Amino acid sequence: MTNIAVAFSINSMCSLKRTLDGGQLRDIALVCLAVGVIGLSYGAIAVTSGFAWWFPVLMGALVLAASSEFLFVGIIAAGGSPVAALLAGLLVNARHLPFGLTVPNVLGRGWRSLLGTHLMNDETVVFAIAQDGLPRKRAAYWACGLGILACWPAGAALGALLGSVVKDTGALGLDAMFPAVILALILPAMKERAVRRTALAGAALALAVTAFLPAGLPVLVALAALPLFTVNTTEGAMR
């Protein structure tokens, strides 16, 4: 199975170079590199939080979802229960459901569809939907997905090594990298009044219960603000 996957990856990369232009490949490479740098932060934080060095590497390859992995490690490190960490991670990854509806023809069929589903994340979907024509959508999706599959666990491995050598990784500021990336991703959406009001309400709910609930649960409580999005959207449409 490993040989088949390697052969498929080589063939896919050759096909991708023929379909995408140099600028698109450069953009995808830069995103994958950034993901690897974030993986460095993830691996270092996981190890300094008490996890074995292999844990972030294994999670990086099998889960391949930075936000849920960071959340899981952060909740456990803060003293939260594994159940709360698992539920929070699953809720974060629930965004993959609409992702799958957005790019159903890009994934392929059979075992390719299984691998394509595993590669699904924010970056791969964004690059896919930005292209014109199915061949280019598929090429961008697989180029970004395979790149992240290589860079994310590799970055986590290097970060785990760094975390085992440098005990105070907080001095490097790596823990601020992922929140900064998340903030950069959500800022464009915050221009919409409905999204902004809902996000602020969710943040207020989470802050209000932080002192009373175990780590991880305030994130779940914040979801109670989601109905406000429908209300605010309806009000905006009526004006």
Same-domain check for residues 153 and 193: no
Residue 123 forms part of a structural domain: yes
Residue 178 forms part of a structural domain: no
Containing structural domain, residue 212: 187-239
Q: Among 139, 170, 201, where does a domain finish?
A: 170
Residue 179 forms part of a structural domain: no
| Continuous segment of H or E residues that includes residue 18 | helix 2-19
pTM of the model: 0.68
Same-domain check for residues 200 and 126: no
Same-domain check for residues 66 and 8: yes
Residue 176 forms part of a structural domain: no
217 Cβ partners below 8 Å, 6+ apart? 80, 84, 209
Same-domain check for residues 49 and 158: yes
Distance CA 19, CA 1 (A): 26
Give the pLDDT score at 107: 84
| pLDDT band, residue 1 (cuts 50/70/90) | very low
Q: Which residue has the tokens 């979907």?
A: 125
What are 62's two structure tokens? Answer: 């099998």
Inter-residue contact 128 to 103 (CB < 8 Å) = yes
Burial of 47 (0-12, 13-18, 19+ CB in 10 A): buried
pLDDT tens for 72-129 read 888 888 888 888 888 888 887 887 887 787 788 888 777 888 888 999 988 888 888 8
